[in-house]
Amino acid sequence: MAIKARLTLILKANDVVVAESDEPAIWQAAFDAIQTGDVEAAFPGVDVVASQDDIEWVPNEERAAIQAFADDLGVEVADVLGACHPRAIAPYIFINRLHWEAFKRQTPERGRNAVSNAVLAMTLLLLWVEKLNIDRISLREGMAVLRAIQARDEHASRALENCPWLQKSSGRVVINPERFSQAIAVARAFCLKLPPETPTDAQTVDQTAPRDNG
């Protein structure tokens, strides 16, 4: 005989239960928001504009890393939290679908100004995990970031090869130190829902075309 589990959403302040609900619509929305970081989609109409105080709920060991991440990008902590919800647990960043949509809408799928799904995910991920002192990230981790928002990139490996600010090295992906500013420009634009401020060398090649080494 199958047993159906009863799911309950519990809101606690330290160990004190403040509120709880077993209403499926409520816990499903909360679950979706936790998994994707997209509060606006899970709870339509809710004001999710963040402030600097929002970092207070972040675990102590992550606060300095998030602040350093925001400083690198030249944006507010609230912008970083709203755009990609960086955490110290895999897949490490939880992309906001509205930021994703805005960025992709302002950049072409192919050609001069293209930034592929894999390149965007890996750029955000690598810039963040550097603050966690994690130095071994592979394309697999980037694909996990995409899967969390039901996105994919069938030409992921090729796109990384054609991107001058990303490099493959001994089974991992790293940011090319000579093109660090290009990675920053892309991540900053994503957090602010803007197109990259300056053209990048990666935009001079088709993201899905093989690189000509001749």
Q: Which of 174, 67, 189, 62 is nearest to 127 (CA)?
A: 174
Q: What is the pLDDT of residue 41?
A: 63
Q: What is the pLDDT of residue 205?
A: 37
Q: What is the pLDDT of residue 32?
A: 74
- Within 13 Å, how many C-alpha atoms sit on residue 99's CB side? 26
Distance (Å, rounded) from C-alpha 122 to C-alpha 61?
23
pLDDT digits (tens, 9 = 90+) for 140-173: 999 999 999 999 999 999 999 999 999 988 889 9
> Is residue 83 a contact partner of residue 99, using CB atoms and an 8 Å limit?
yes
Q: Which residues pair with 173 in a beta bridge?
A: 168
Distance (Å, rounded) from C-alpha 32 to C-alpha 158?
31
- pTM, two decimal places: 0.69
Ranges in the chain, pLDDT < 70: 1-5, 11-19, 27, 35-57, 112, 197-214
Q: Which of 42, 8, 3 is nearest to 22 (CA)?
A: 8
Distance (Å, rounded) from C-alpha 107 to C-alpha 202?
13
At 4, list the tokens.
């159906």
Q: What is the pLDDT of residue 42?
A: 60
Per-residue CA distances from 130 to 92, 104, 133, 151, 197 (Å): 11, 25, 5, 24, 23
Distance (Å, rounded) from C-alpha 122 to C-alpha 68?
18
Helix (H) or strand (E) holding 183: helix 180-191
Residues ≥6 apart with Cβ < 8 Å to 57: none
Q: What is the pLDDT of residue 33?
A: 73
Cis status of the peptide bond prior to 91, with omega within 30 of 0: yes
Q: What is the pLDDT of residue 208?
A: 41
pLDDT digits (tens, 9 = 90+) for 76-85: 999 999 999 9
